[in-house]
Amino acid sequence: MLVELFWALLVAGVSAMAVLWVFSARMAFDFLRAAPAAERNPGRWLLVPFWPFALSGLAGGEAERLKFQKLLIGLFAAFLVTASSAAVYSNLTFVPPAQTNQ
């Protein structure tokens, strides 16, 4: 029963991380596309998949930066659920090796 619960939490955490990452990358892409022509730099487009590490290079105003920070907090929470569920799941399904006499 507990094994299935933590497996479901593990799958839900990984799914939440993937959805948040794609949603945030899409938002970063939209912000860069809506930027004025004077601010458009071809190198900034390379930052979209790495949005958590490049928040200062992506967001234009304070409102956009706050949205990215909220998404970063959600991504971190999903990572914590995933990591803790994986740890508990691996402990619950651990099978010790057979003991051999030599």
Domain range holding 19? 2-36+48-92
Note whether residue 101 is domain-resident: no
Answer whether residue 43 is part of any domain.
Answer: no
Residue 41 lies inside a defined structural domain of this protein: no
Give tens-digit pLDDT for 63-79.
777 888 888 899 999 99
**pLDDT of 46:** 74
Is residue 102, in this structure, part of any structural domain at all? Answer: no
Report if residue 75 sits inside a domain: yes
Higher pLDDT, 24 or 79: 79
**What whole-number percentage of the chain has pLDDT above 70?**
87
In a domain, 100, yes or no: no
Residue 25 located in a structural domain: yes
Write down the pTM of the prediction: 0.76
Say how many C-beta atoms besides its own lie within 10 A of residue 91's C-beta.
Answer: 9
Averaged over 47-68, what is the pLDDT?
A: 72
- The answer to whether 71 touches 23, Cβ cutoff 8 Å, is yes
pLDDT of residue 82: 96
* Domain-embedded: residue 60: yes
Percent of all residues in the chain with a pLDDT value above 90, rounded to a whole number: 39
Question: Considering its fold, how many domains does the chain have in total?
Answer: 1
Judged by phi (left if over 0) then psi (alpha if -120 to 50, else beta), residue 10 lies in alpha
